[in-house]
Amino acid sequence: MPLTFANENEEKKILKLGGKPEVKQHLADLGFNVGSNIQIITKSGENVIVRVKDTRIALSKELANKILV
């Protein structure tokens, strides 16, 4: 399921990164790698704040939908 469907404070494992190769590379550069754990801190409007590898990152919902958990 896309990351945006997960509940806040629920830890999930990244199963797949979707999108074009440049989108996948951008996500990987930010630390989103298959097998890594990820947690939604908060969802607000069109943004999602997540924790990955002890770092908080804000993503657009469009980009967060490319991360499958």
Per-residue pLDDT at 46? 87
Distance in angstroms (rounded) separating the CA atoms of residues 13 and 15: 6
Taking all residues of the chain, what is their mean pLDDT, rounded to a whole number? 92
Complete DSSP assignment for 5-52? GSPTT-EEE--EE-S-HHHHHHHHHTT--TT-EEEEEEEETTEEEEEE
pLDDT in tens, 22-55: 999 999 999 999 999 999 999 988 899 999 988 9
Per-residue pLDDT at 28? 92
Domain boundaries, given as residue ranges, for the chain: 3-68
- pTM above 0.75? yes
CATH architecture assigned to 3-68: Roll (2.30)
